Amino acid sequence: MRRLFVILPDHDSCKAVVNDLEQQGVPEHHLHVIAGLNQDTADLPKASVWQSTELLDGILWGVALGGTAGMLGGLLVSAFPPPGMEVDGLSLSVLAAVGALLGGGVSALISSHEHNHQLDSFEAAVAAGQLLLMVDVPRRQVTQMQETIRQRHPEAHITIARRKGA
């Protein structure tokens, strides 16, 4: 999937693009609108915490780092076991899983309050009263969706997200 970022001048234009994309078969859960506080978005698909924060990346990093820390801690305990304690493979797995859960949870709490840095370049437009429509489309349909939006809505400015690692 690729994410298209579409800057639109006003609510009516955004609503028209959303309707056109839904008629093209884009499901509503692939459409996410971010607007300023003074914008009425009641009839538009709003961006959730998953689109507007770094929550997903934070969870992934937390699970990876926490799992690694748990595994390293388990290896340390197995190399230097406390008197009367025996550490086996199951214990190492449990420690890694507990570390991953704790790391993911703590990181989720922290990253859920950090804004999505992919949105930084659109901050001024949203502050100026424009709306940001994020559209998630399969890679093979990116060009078709861009052409559809540009033909029917010349007022739209489209940018394609470059996903991390993609």
Q: Which domains, ranges and CATH numbers included, belong to the chain?
A: 2-52+118-160 (3.30.70.120), 55-111 (no CATH)
Residues 6+ apart with CB under 8 A from 69: 99, 103
Beta carbons of 161 and 26 less than 8 angstroms apart? no
Q: Mean pLDDT, the chain, as a whole number?
A: 88
Q: What is the pTM of this model?
A: 0.73
Instruction: Kindly tell me the burial class for residue 71, based on how many C-beta atoms sit within 10 Å of its own C-beta (0-12, 13-18, 19 or more).
Output: middle
**How does pLDDT run across 80-121, given as a tens digit for each residue?**
888 877 778 888 888 889 999 999 999 888 888 787 778 888
On the CB side of 89, how many CA atoms lie within 13 Å of its CA?
Answer: 0
Give the model's pLDDT for residue 6: 96
pLDDT of residue 9: 96
At position 25, the amino acid (one-letter code) is G
Low-confidence residues of the chain, pLDDT below 70? 162-166
pLDDT of residue 166: 41
